[in-house]
């Protein structure tokens, strides 16, 4: 690594990744002098971002190992679904310190939802015994396409009233008013399938360089992680497979206003509508899931048919992306839906594209979106360039510390 790249933020990245965890290893990795490495570590110590850990000895004096201090701040995260939400306080390693699951309807609009969420966050901080000033950022997972640079959702079919709404600014205001937090706390927003994929890939398949997750719930969406990074496309629209048109679905009206979309035929909302028409009252994908758990015959049949339709689209997706892992998640991700999906996918995709493909179901369960939202915040705030910006703003580069290790 060139010296001009080995800032304090870059040293932190080496420590966090485990690539270099002693002063000697940092010198070797960066080419910096011992004094320069020490000066930059001083800034990280002063900020409270690193700490000393017990080193290992090979017979002489044990080396002092450095590690990221994941207790120096907390993250607030929320996973918003169509009819409920899950919110939590987490440490920087992703451990949940306090959590709440409750009804919160996305259709009530952003002001009502974000105000309610601000109250949840205030109560959760109290429960966790943490202060609002310890919050370094807020991450939100939402069921719609997101322009990540602005944190605004763009033409979301199942989020009425949210299109273009300034979510980060409104969340900051709610957090400041209800929890006493800073009005400039960073707020990051992303699509739920993206964040589920990010969390699942990191937790279960860190070595998979091309990972795809399909969320089949009230709607249908996909998240793609390439080389450890979420692939979002030009403006956040990547993965919106629920609105791929099917050639024989012209009569199916989608929530987006078009006809023939995959979501209009195979989503939890579509299956719920068909079940209701058959005399089995069903309001959402979660209700479909409950019917499947009970073995309701019509639900079983329709879920398998829905999986088959999704499999048709995934044959193209798999051919295009050539992922190593294809994960099925969401309310519909049970055996019946997955069986239908697998059958059609393997029939229609060329053997070359599925030879090394694992088709699996989710591991993290209902916390995947929450974990992904928290991880998004941490990775953003402690990335090298952002870390350097934050240290400079805090005056961290000008404060030496007596904790400097020998």
Q: 205-364 in CATH: which number?
A: 3.30.420.40
What is the model's pTM? Answer: 0.91
pLDDT at 237: 87
Fold for 74-193+368-381, please state it: Nucleotidyltransferase; domain 5 (3.30.420)
Average pLDDT, integer, range 58-68: 77
- The pLDDT of 240-255, averaged and rounded, is 88
The CATH code that applies to domain 3-70 is 1.10.10.10
Task: List, for residues 104-116, the tens digit of each pLDDT value.
Answer: 999 999 999 999 9
301-320 pLDDT, tens per residue? 999 999 999 999 999 999 99
For 42-69, what is the HEC assignment?
HHHHHHCCEEEECCCCCCCCCCCEEEEC
Beta strands in 104-245 (DSSP E): 135-142, 146-147, 152-153, 187-191, 210-216, 220-226, 229-230
> Are 210 and 226 a contacting pair, CB within 8 Å?
yes
Query: H or E stretch including 328?
Result: strand 325-329
What does the alpha-carbon distance between residue 18 and residue 9 come to, in Å, rounded to a whole number?
Answer: 14
Measure CA 215 to chain center.
13
Q: Which of 334, 144, 169 is nearest to 220 (CA)?
A: 144
340 in Cβ contact with 166 (< 8 Å):
no
Secondary structure (3-state) at 234: coil
Lowest mean pLDDT of 165-169, 286-290, 294-298, name the range: 286-290
Confidence tier at 405 by pLDDT (50, 70, 90): very low
144 closest CA partner among 208, 80, 92, 60: 80
Structure tokens at 233: 């496309």
Q: Is 92 exposed, middle or buried (0-12, 13-18, 19+ CB in 10 A)?
A: buried
In the chain, which residues fall in CATH 1.10.10.10? 3-70
What number is the average pLDDT over the span 119-139?
A: 97
What is the pLDDT, as a whole number, of residue 403? 37
Nearest to 168 by CA among 133, 241, 117: 117
Percent of the chain with pLDDT over 90: 83
As a whole number, the mean pLDDT across the chain is: 91
At residue 11 the predicted structure's pLDDT band, cuts being 50, 70 and 90, is very high
pLDDT band, very low/low/confident/very high, at 285 (cuts 50, 70, 90)? confident
Q: Where in the chain is the domain with CATH 3.30.420.40?
A: 74-193+368-381, 205-364
CB atoms within 10 A of CB 39: 15
The band of 247, judged by pLDDT with boundaries at 50, 70 and 90, is confident
Residue where the block lists tokens 């420590």: 15
């Amino acid at each position: 690594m060139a010296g001009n790249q080995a800032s304090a933020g870059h040293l932190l990245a080496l420590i966090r990744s485990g690539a270099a965890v002693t002063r000697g290893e940092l010198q070797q990795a960066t080419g910096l002098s011992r004094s320069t490495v020490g000066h930059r570590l001083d800034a990280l110590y002063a900020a409270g971002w690193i700490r000393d850990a017990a080193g290992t000895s090979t017979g002489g004096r044990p080396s002092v190992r450095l590690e990221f201090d994941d207790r120096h701040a907390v993250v607030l995260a929320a996973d918003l679904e169509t009819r409920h939400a899950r919110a939590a306080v987490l440490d920087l390693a992703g451990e949940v310190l306090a959590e709440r699951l409750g009804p919160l309807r996305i259709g009530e609009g952003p002001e009502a939802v974000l105000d309610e969420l601000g109250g949840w966050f205030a109560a959760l901080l109290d429960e966790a015994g943490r202060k609002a000033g310890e919050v370094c950022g807020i991450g939100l997972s939402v069921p719609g396409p997101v322009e990540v640079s602005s944190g605004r959702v763009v033409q979301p079919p199942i989020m009425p009233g949210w299109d273009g709404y300034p979510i980060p600014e409104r969340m900051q205001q709610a957090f400041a008013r209800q929890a006493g937090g800073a009005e400039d706390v960073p707020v990051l927003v992303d699509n739920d399938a993206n964040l589920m994929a990010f969390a699942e890939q990191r937790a279960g398949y860190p070595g998979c360089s091309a990972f795809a997750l399909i969320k089949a719930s009230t709607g249908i969406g996909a998240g793609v992680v390439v080389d450890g990074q979420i692939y979002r496309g030009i403006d956040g629209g990547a993965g919106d497979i629920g609105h791929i048109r099917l050639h024989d679905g012209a009569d199916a009206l989608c929530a987006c206003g078009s006809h023939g979309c995959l979501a209009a035929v195979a989503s939890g909302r579509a299956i719920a509508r068909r079940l209701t028409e058959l005399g089995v009252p069903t309001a959402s994908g979660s209700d479909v899931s409950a019917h499947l758990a009970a073995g309701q015959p019509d639900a079983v049949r329709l879920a398998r048919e829905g999986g088959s339709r999704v499999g048709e689209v995934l044959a193209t997706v798999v051919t295009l992306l050539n992922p190593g892992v294809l994960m099925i998640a969401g309310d519909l991700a049970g055996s019946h839906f997955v069986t239908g999906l697998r059958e059609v996918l393997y029939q229609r995709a060329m053997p070359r594209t599925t030879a090394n493909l694992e088709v699996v179901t989710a591991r993290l369960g209902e916390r995947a979106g929450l974990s992904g939202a928290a991880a998004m915040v941490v990775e953003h705030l402690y990335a090298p360039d952002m870390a350097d910006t934050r240290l400079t703003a805090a005056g961290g580069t000008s404060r030496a510390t007596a904790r400097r290790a020998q």
